[in-house]
Chains A and B, each alone.
Chain A
Amino acid sequence: GAGVSQSPSNKVTEKGKDVELRCDPISGHTALYWYRQSLGQGLEFLIYFQGNSAPDKSGLPSDRFSAERTGGSVSTLTIQRTQQEDSAVYLCASSPGLASLPDTQYFGPGTRLTVL
């Protein structure tokens, strides 16, 4: 079946603009995650959704970052007033969210964000 998809694949924006990044999880997966990967760095956890609720927002770096998930499916990560340090690859993952352990995360290809 189809994997996790993300759009756009690349986004170039000017400092101060808002951007929206989209994630379409694997059908039926109840859990969804956003990560950020900067050059030479590991994945930095941003936020986790179970259904449409976000029990863990601890990784959002500032109040310029927000995310929502609707219909238990598509999620949007919004960055307001972008800064150059926001430049990174933003990765989305989904997992079944069922009782089987571990709840394996499947990643999308990422959105490469460049803030000029």
Chain B
Amino acid sequence: QKEVEQDPGPLSVPEGAIVSLNCTYSNSAFQYFMWYRQYSRKGPELLMYTYSSGNKEDGRFTAQVDKSSKYISLFIRDSQPSDSATYLCAMSADGSARQLTFGSGTQLTVLP
């Protein structure tokens, strides 16, 4: 079993919908939880990160971490066609977040 599990999708939603993307993990030592966005034929770019538990909001994006359930989520409000991409969760147990363990990614399409 992989340390980080992520539903690969694909997920297709209409413009304006709320999108929920999720990952589960097995390593209780993970302390940094990150979400990367990867457009087709591009490298991943960091969207946001959370340290330990709790919520973090950045514009239309909200990241949630539930360490008791070993479950993290990324919510996208008022989704836009430009949000169409693959979303990768990544986690790290080291204090500098250099050793990242990635999920397999969820492919999202937002239809205009």
Interface residues of A (CB under 8 A from B): 4, 31, 33, 40-45, 48, 56, 91, 93, 95, 101-110
Asked whether A48 and B98 contact (CB < 8 A) given A42-B104, A93-B43, A104-B46, the answer is: yes
Complex-state Cα separation, A107 to B8, whole angstroms: 21
- Size of the B side of the interface (Cβ < 8 Å), in residues, is 27
Asked whether A4 and B43 contact (CB < 8 A) given A42-B88, A42-B105, A102-B32, the answer is: yes
| A95 and B45 within 8 A (CB) | no
| B98 and A103 within 8 A (CB) | yes
- In the complex, which residues of chain B have a beta carbon less than 8 angstroms from the beta carbon of A107? 43-45
| B45 and A40 within 8 A (CB) | no
Query: Which residues of chain B in 57-88 are interfacial with respect to chain A, using CB atoms and an 8 Å cutoff?
Result: 88
Min CB distance A96 to B, Å, is: 10
| B99 and A42 within 8 A (CB) | no
